[in-house]
Structure 1
C-alpha cells in the first residue's frame, strides 16, 4: 500500500493578510520620504535686491519679454552665458571698438558694461542657478563708449550719437551708468535726449558716487526728464560711498555688495550707483512689458509714486532718496491715472529758456529826439592879403612873444661866455712859469 504523502503545511490565512498589509503600507511610506533638499545657490542667495525690491513678486506678472534695454557703456562681453540670446544688436560710437559694440573698452574697467547689463537683464544658468537679472527676458543693445583719451571721438559726441542710435534700433529703456561730475552738459545732448523723450523712451541714469569724488549729482543725471537713481545699502540707508545727493534724484536702489558678470563670465562683487541704475532699468522694463499701453511719462510716474518711503528721508522728494526705495511689484501692479507730462521735468522747456531764449533788448526811448540846428558856415577873411606878409595877429601872437623870449636868452648866453673867459684868464695869470 502506497503510503499517503505527508500532509503539506500551509501558511495560515491571517499571516498572508498581514504580510500583504505590511507590503502595502511599505510602499507609501517609502514614497512619502522627502528627497534631500538641494543646497541653496550661493549666487542667487547673494542677490538680496531680488527679494528686497520685490522683484520676485513682480515676476509673477512678467519677466520683461518684448522690451529692449540699451546699455550705453563700455560694451557687453560676448563670452558669458548670461548674455546668450539676450543681446540682439549693438554698435560702437568711440571709433576704437568693434562694429557690434561687444568688445569691452577701457584700460581701467572694461568689464563695467557687462556687469551693468547682467544686473538689468542677465540670463541664469540652464538649470536656473547662477546670477539672474531683474528683467531676465528683456532684450539688450550693446553700445560701446570710449572713456578717457583713448577714443578718437569726443565723449560728448559719442553719447549724443549713442542715444539716437539706441532709439532708432528699438530701445524703450536706456541705461547710462556714468557721470561727468559737472552740472552742465554739452549742448549736443539737448537734441539727443529730447529725441529719446519724443520717441517714448525712459532714460535711467546713475547719480554718481561720493567714493569717486562726486559730492553732488552731475550730468547726465541733471538733465530734466531722466530717471536718476541714488544708492542705498542692504538696510535701505543712503550709501556714504556708493551714492551722492541732489534735487534731481528720483528713486533709490541697492548700490552696495552687488553682483555682476564680467566679460569673461566671472561673477564679481562691486559697489556703486552704476549698479543701482540697471536694477531700476530692469524694473522699468518689467513695467513696460506688463503695461505696453503706458507712455514713458506714465511709466516714470509708476516708478516714483509706488516707491517705498525711506526711513531716513526728511523731504518728499528727498535729496538723498528721491521719492523713496524702488518697489518692482508695486510698480508693476499699481493702477495710477495717466499723466500729461514727465513728472521729472520738461527738457524742451528747459532748452527754450536756457538755450534758445531771445536776447533781452535794451530800454527803448520814450521821448522824441531833440532837433539840433546846423552850425553856420565859417566866415572868410575880411580883406584879402598875402600869407608872406605878417598880419597884426601874427605879430601879436607870434613875432613879439618869440622876440621877447629869444633876446634875453641871447644876452644871457653872451654874459655866461664872457664870464667864463675872464675866469680862465685869471687862472692863467696866477699859474707860475716852469
Structure 2
C-alpha cells in the first residue's frame, strides 16, 4: 500500500544522515489529483556506502527494539504466507527466504514468485520488510523476522488484469492454500475499500482461525482515498495494523483510522526492495503490516505452544498506548513493543481478544437469511432517511489506490556527478497519487 503524496503539503525536502552527511533529498510536488512526483536517489561511491544507506533507512529496527528482540529470536521455525502480487525470491535480500508458493490468479507461475497484476513491485517490497535477510553484515533490507520462512501466494488485482478468477475468489483460495501448506501467519497488505466482505471469505477465514493461523491486515491509507478501514481489516479476529510516522504519531495520510485497529507500526519513510533488486523509499500501511507480521513470527517462534488467540493477546497487551485510552481508533491498543512482547508475563486468554468471526456470522448472516418478507406486513410511515452506502462490487485492490493500481512514472531528467547525490524527478499519471524514492547503486 504505497502512500500517495501528502495532500497537506505541496513540497517536501528530506535531508538527514549520520555525521552530518546528506542521505538524500526528495521533492514531492502534487500538481493535481492525477499527478504524482517520484524521486530517484543516485549515490556515487563505494558499494558499501550504498548498502549502509539502505539499512540506515530502517529506523524502526532500533527505535522499536527489534535489534534487541533478535537476541531472543529471529523468527526461526515459523512459516509466513504473503498473499500479494508475487514475491521474487531471487533478489539478494530474499534468497533462501521463500520456501514455497503458488499462484491463484491464473497469470503467474506455480511458485508464486512471478509478479502479477497492476502493481508488480508490491509483494516483493512487503516480503522484504517481513523476512528480508539483508545482503551482508549491516547491509541491504532486513525484515523484522529475518529467519522466518515465506510462502509466496500471488494474486492479480485491478480491473483489467485478465485474471481467471474474481478478486474475491482469489483471496478465498489464497487463504485456504496458505493454511493447507503450513502457514502460521498470513500477511494481507490489501483491501476491498469497503468494510463488507463476501460469504466466501467467511469460510476461508474461519478455516484459518480453526487451524490456529494468525491473519494480519493493513488498515489502509487516507491520503490515497481509503477513508475507512476495509475488509479484510474489518473481519473479527484479524490483527489490523494502523500506521504512524517516525515520531510515533498517527499518520495523517499513510494510515486509516477505525474501531477495528489492533496495533500501530511505522508506515512512513519505509525502505523496500523491488523485484529487480533496486530499492525504494515508500509509505503506507502495506509496509506497517509486514513489520507487525514479523513480530507475530517472533512471538510464535519464542512461544511455539501458544495458540493464535494468545499470540495476539501477547502483542496487544504489551503494546504502548502512546498516551491514548485503549483501544483507540488511531493506535488500537498501541504501538508495538517487540521486547515486551517477547519478555513480559501476559495472562492467558481463552478467546481471540479481537473478536469472533463465528459469532459475527451467526448474528449477521443468519439475520440476512431469516429477514421477514416486508411486503406481507403493514409498514409504519417513517421519515425519509439518507440512502444507504452502496455495497462493494467486489473490486479488491492493494493499497493505496481504489479500483485500480495502474500508474506511469516518466523520468524527466537525471543529473549525476562524482561524490554527489542526484535527484530524478518524474511525473506519474494515475487515478491517485503515489510517491516513492528510488535508491540506485552506482
Counterparts of 2:305 and 2:68, CA distance in 1: 21
Superposed counterparts of 1:26-425, under 5 Å: 41-107=52-118, 109-148=119-158, 149-150=160-161, 151-311=163-323, 313=324, 315-357=325-367, 359=370
Q: 278-287 or 315-324: which moved more?
A: 315-324
Kindly state the Cα deviation for residue 353 of structure 1 after the two structures are TM-superposed. 1.0
Counterparts of 2:137 and 2:145, CA distance in 1: 18
Q: Deviations over 1:329-383 (max 9, x none)?
A: 1111122121100000000011111113562679xxxxxxxxxxxxxxxxxxxxx
Kindly state the Cα deviation for residue 79 of structure 1 after the two structures are TM-superposed. 3.0
Counterparts of 2:248 and 2:138, CA distance in 1: 28
Counterparts of 2:86 and 2:189, CA distance in 1: 12
Q: Deviations over 1:201-256 (max 9, x none)?
A: 11000000012201110111100000000000000111111001100000000000
Confirm or deny: 8 A CA contact 1:79 1:264 kept in the other structure: no
Aligned to 1:421: none
Counterparts of 1:123 and 1:277, CA distance in 2: 18
Runs of 4+ with deviation above 6 angstroms: none
Q: Report the structure number with the largest CA radius of gyration.
A: 1
Counterparts of 2:137 and 2:328, CA distance in 1: 42
Counterparts of 1:181 and 1:217, CA distance in 2: 7
- Specify which structure has the bigger relative contact order, considering alpha-carbon pairs within 8 angstroms and separated by 6 or more residues: 2
Match of 2:339, SS state, is helix
Kindly state the Cα deviation for residue 126 of structure 1 after the two structures are TM-superposed. 3.3
Aligned to 1:6: none
Match of 2:101, SS state, is strand
Counterparts of 1:361 and 1:247, CA distance in 2: 30
Q: Which runs of 5+ in 2 are unaligned?
A: 1-47, 374-442
User: Alpha carbon RMSD of aligned pairs, Å?
Assistant: 1.5
Task: Determine which structure has the larger helix proportion and give its number.
Answer: 1
Q: 271-280 or 346-355: which moved more?
A: 346-355
Confirm or deny: 8 A CA contact 2:89 2:98 kept in the other structure: no
Confirm or deny: 8 A CA contact 1:317 1:323 kept in the other structure: yes
Confirm or deny: 8 A CA contact 2:52 2:140 kept in the other structure: yes
Counterparts of 1:218 and 1:127, CA distance in 2: 39
Confirm or deny: 8 A CA contact 1:164 1:195 kept in the other structure: yes
Counterparts of 1:136 and 1:360, CA distance in 2: 50
How many equivalent pairs are there?
A: 322
What is the TM-score when the length of structure 2 is the normalising length?
0.71
Kindly state the Cα deviation for residue 127 of structure 1 after the two structures are TM-superposed. 3.7
Counterparts of 1:122 and 1:169, CA distance in 2: 21
Match of 1:355, SS state, is helix
Confirm or deny: 8 A CA contact 2:112 2:154 kept in the other structure: yes
